[in-house]
Amino acid sequence: MSPTRPLSAKDLAGKNDIKPTWEVIMRTEKAYPIKPNPMRSSRNKIQLGVFSTNTEGGCTVTNAPERLRGDDWAGNLEIARVADDAGFEAFIPVGRWKGFGGTNNTGGVCFETYTWAAGIAALTNQIAVFTTSHLPTVHPLFAAKQAVTIDHISSGRFGLNILCGWYGAEMRMFNGQMMEHDKRYDYAEEWLHIAKNAWEQQTPFNFKGEYFNICDAISQPHPLNTPYLINAGGSPRGKRFCAKHCDAAFLIVKHLDGEDAVRQQIASYKDLAKQEFDRDIKIWCYGYVVQKDTQEQADAYLDYYANQLGDDEGCDIITSELGIQTGIFTPEDAVRFRFHFKAGFAGVPLVGTPEQIVELFKKYSDWGIDGIALTWLDYHEGIKDFVRETLPLMEQAGLREAITVEAITPKVAAEVA
């Protein structure tokens, strides 16, 4: 058997022996070479990620007992390995410092994302590992050094999800107040300028701005690959920041408004990046998966956790805060998307049979989406079902390339051949 023979997603489902375990890494006599960051190197028509495994409830706002635990490191690692083995491009955490209240205080139990990413990076092989960083909570030089450390642990697979802070109760924990909306992005401009200099400069540098005064700063080592930057800016100021600095916009897609509105939402980012900054930017969003044998079963399960057991009190807090602070939604929009917040934090719905879900992926790809980070109520069973049943159909539909043994790990490729 050739080391580069195609493996379908179905081949990989349940094969825990074909995985980049810590033991495999430790048996290697010399360090792995620099690896490509799949966010840049992937040729898949639609890229895939997993989102929000590090926080209580994941992206759901529900009282359902199947909801994700926020303090389950072993569970995080299990999900990461399944996604890694299946060729997903991204593993993205949520940045959360304080819960939203409600019956279960959604998001109140959450792993910090730099140290979380270091752990995930050490125990995966090919997937891009992100941290999600509220910039006002960490100094840029400290964050830059942490980022480089994770990049080296992962052999070049690090990504940074940049947040400026939109949940006032969180931001007031750190400085007693939250900056005015546009000033958050002014702060982010300075923060990112300093971090990039720390990643790139061979000699000490200085910087003096409105928010930072940096003297003779230097940081070594430098990253193996340039960190992949994403941001969810949805206001006019946020969109300019994202278009100017980031590799991808990470959006809440207004899918209730129909195809024309979504195409316009996507085009506005890509056009701004190209026309104003001569840059090409990818568009990512996230979506909640409810996969069952029939559409009726999927709809019933969705109704069970989002309607019957939805945490309405927590949802009220989220929609109120998000509508006021982000510029992504008007307060009216936030109410209109209320059900989808409970189902998956207003992600796009991927609900139905495997065949129907593939058709939804086709639709969003046609509308201009480059990647979707997936969420579930029950991540552990959900991702396994998805890899076993839906991913092979995506390959058949031309949305994803078949996985190769070499893409899993060079060590395993040699053993399987």
Q: Do strands 158-163 and 213-217 pair parallel, antiparallel, or not at all (unpaired)?
A: unpaired
Structural contact between residues 383 and 374, judged by C-beta atoms closer than 8 angstroms = yes
Q: What is the DSSP string of 123-173?
A: T-SSSEEEEEEEGGGS-HHHHHHHHHHHHHHTTS-EEEEEE----HHHHHH
Domains present along the chain, CATH in parentheses: 46-387 (3.20.20.30)
d(CA 15, CA 191): 43
pLDDT for 193 beyond 60? yes
Structural contact between residues 226 and 161, judged by C-beta atoms closer than 8 angstroms = no
Element (H, E) at 92: strand 90-92
Report the SS3 class of residue 188: helix
pLDDT for 48 beyond 90? yes
* Other C-beta atoms lying within 10 Å of the C-beta of residue 36: 14
- Backbone angles phi and psi of 89, in degrees to 5: -90, -25
Structural contact between residues 185 and 205, judged by C-beta atoms closer than 8 angstroms = no
Q: What is the mean pLDDT of the chain?
A: 89
- How long, in residues, is the chain? 417
pLDDT for 417 beyond 80? no
Q: Do strands 371-375 and 282-291 pair parallel, antiparallel, or not at all (unpaired)?
A: parallel
Q: For residue 158, list its beta bridge partners.
A: 129
pLDDT band at 177 (very low <50, low <70, confident <90, very high): confident
pLDDT tens string 144-161: 999 999 999 999 999 999
What is this structure's pTM? 0.89
Q: At what angle do helices 259-277 and 354-367 cross, to 10 degrees?
A: 40
d(CA 325, CA 269): 20
Q: Tell me what pLDDT residue 32 has.
A: 60
Low-confidence winner among 69-73, 81-85, 240-244, 400-404 (lowest mean pLDDT): 400-404
d(CA 153, CA 147): 10
- Count of helix runs (H) and strand runs (E) in the chain: 19, 13
pLDDT for 62 beyond 60? yes
Structural contact between residues 50 and 374, judged by C-beta atoms closer than 8 angstroms = yes
d(CA 160, CA 145): 13
d(CA 71, CA 109): 7
What is the token pair recorded at 347? 């992600």
Q: Report the pLDDT averaged over residues 306-323.
A: 87
Of 216 and 28, the structure prediction assigns the larger pLDDT to 216
